[in-house]
Every structure is written in C-alpha cells, then in structure tokens.
Amino acid sequence: MKIKFLCAAAAVATAFASTAAFAEDAAPASDITITGSAAIVSGYKFRGIAQTDNKPTAQAAITISHKSGFYVSTWASGNTFGGGTEIDVYGGYTKALGSTGITVDGGLYGYLYPNAPINNIYEVYGSLSKAFGPISLKGGVNWAPKQHYFGGNGYATPVKYSVYKYAEFSVSPPVLPALTVHGHLGHTAGGLDYPVAYLDYTVGAGYKYKSLTLDLSLVGTDLKRSTVGADIYRQGKAIPVLSLTAAF
C-alpha cells in the first residue's frame, strides 16, 4: 500500500509539474516586440546623395514596438561627414485601416550628428502602404519645418521648410519568395535641396536567406554637373550599392 501511495503521489507531482510547465509555455505573448538589424554597406546614400563619400560603412538599428501600434526606433551609420557618426532617433504610430488593407504610419524623426550638431535635422513624416498579393506599394511625405541647418545652403532669402515626397514598390515573385525586386522615386524641395529641387531614385533586388539579406541596388539623382558643381554631382550620380544585412 505504501508503495502504491508513493507511486500515486509521484504521478500527481509529475502531472502538476507538466501542467505548470505547459502553463508557462502557454503564457500570453508580450505586448512589446524588440527587433533589430546590423549591416555592412558599400556606400550610404541619403535621398540619392552619398553620405560616406561612396565608401563602405557599418550600420545598425533597433526598434521597440507595442501591440497598440506605437513604436520608437534608433538607427546609426558610421563614417558620415568626414568620419563622424549619424544617429537617427524616431517614433510614431502605425495602424491598419480596417479591412481596406491600407496601413498608415506617422511620427517624428531626428537626424543627429554628435560630432557636428550644426547638421542636426528634424522632420515630421507620414505614409500609406498597401499590398496587392506579391506587390507592395507605399507613398509618403517628410516635412521639415524651418531650422538652423537650412541657413547653410546658400539661400538669399530664409527658407521656411523642406518637403520630401516619395513612392515605392516591391515585388516578391510567388515562385521565388526569397527574392524581392524593389524601386523608389523621391523629390526634394526646400531647405534640403542642393539648392535646386531634385529627384532621387533606387532600383534593385534583395535575396533573403534565413536572417540574412543580400541586396544590390542602383542609387542616384537627376542633379546636373552644370547646376550643382563637380563635387555634389559626384555624390549624387548613380552608383551600385551592395549591402549585407542581418536581422534579429
């Protein structure tokens, strides 16, 4: 009898432990999600203009998102502005609009340069995106109010703001979902032009393997040497950009 009791007790204890472990495994997911990435790029271009003198650099990002749609992110790139570092900090809110398939996103963005704070820039941004099967479309606007940086672009009269409008697409063929073909077209006018309004473009393809993505893109602008001079033209001319990104 004593042996049977001990066996029964052991069975109950084992069942309790299994139930507790299952309950722990089945605990509700956290409301907060943390994601990030690290990348090596052959050159960093911002709106078509080289920020690292067309030289390689390392980049990293981290995003903290809440299930409500609010998020905050930071992104960093080395070797900008003569060896300095760019640190972008931004936060906003994103939400799918009912059953429309449209996602809205908006917030505040800061481009910060610890070694050259005179170049700091702040913007308000907003975008709409929608997927049509394997095709994704996105359009958005970044608006920068009048700020100190705009005074350095050689304007005869004060610039009150800068605006950047863009459209993007991406396609992942069903027969090869690891491959993504993408394109981007943007227009800059106001305090962030050179000093004429201009177009920038990107067209390329990326291939994803597990957490790694290898991308090759052609990135450039429509700036003319006769308009902006040899140096800006060289920074804005079309060049291939190769990147390897690890996501986590």
> How far separated are the first and last CA of the chain, in Å rounded?
56
Could you give the CA distance from residue 219 to residue 82 in angstroms, rounded to a whole number? 21
What does pTM read for this prediction? 0.85
Q: Domain segments of the chain: what residues?
A: 1-29, 31-247
Which segments of 42-134 are extended strands (E)? 45-46, 49-50, 57-66, 70-80, 84-96, 102-112, 121-132
- Residue that the structure tokens 């069903």 belong to: 174
- Residue that the structure tokens 């398939």 belong to: 101
Q: Report the SS3 class of residue 166.
A: strand
3-state secondary structure 118-164: HHCEEEEEEEEEEEECCEEEEEEEEEEECCHHHHHCCCCCCCCEEEE
Q: What is the pLDDT along the chain (248 residues), one digit of tens a residue?
A: 333 333 433 443 444 344 444 444 556 779 999 999 999 999 999 999 999 999 999 999 999 999 999 999 999 999 776 568 999 999 999 999 999 999 999 999 999 999 888 889 999 999 999 999 999 999 999 999 988 888 655 555 567 899 999 999 999 999 999 999 999 999 999 988 887 999 999 999 999 999 999 999 999 999 999 999 999 999 999 999 999 999 99
Give the single-character DSSP code of 1. Answer: -
Could you give the CA distance from residue 183 to residue 198 in angstroms, rounded to a whole number? 17
Neighbours of 203 (CB within 10 A): 15
88 and 110 Cβ atoms separated by less than 8 Å: yes
Cα-only R_g, the chain: 24
Helices (H), 88-229: 225-228
Q: What is the pLDDT of residue 10?
A: 41
Burial 81-90 (b: 16+ CB within 10 A, else e): eeeebbbbeb
Name the architecture of domain 31-247.
Answer: Beta Barrel (2.40)
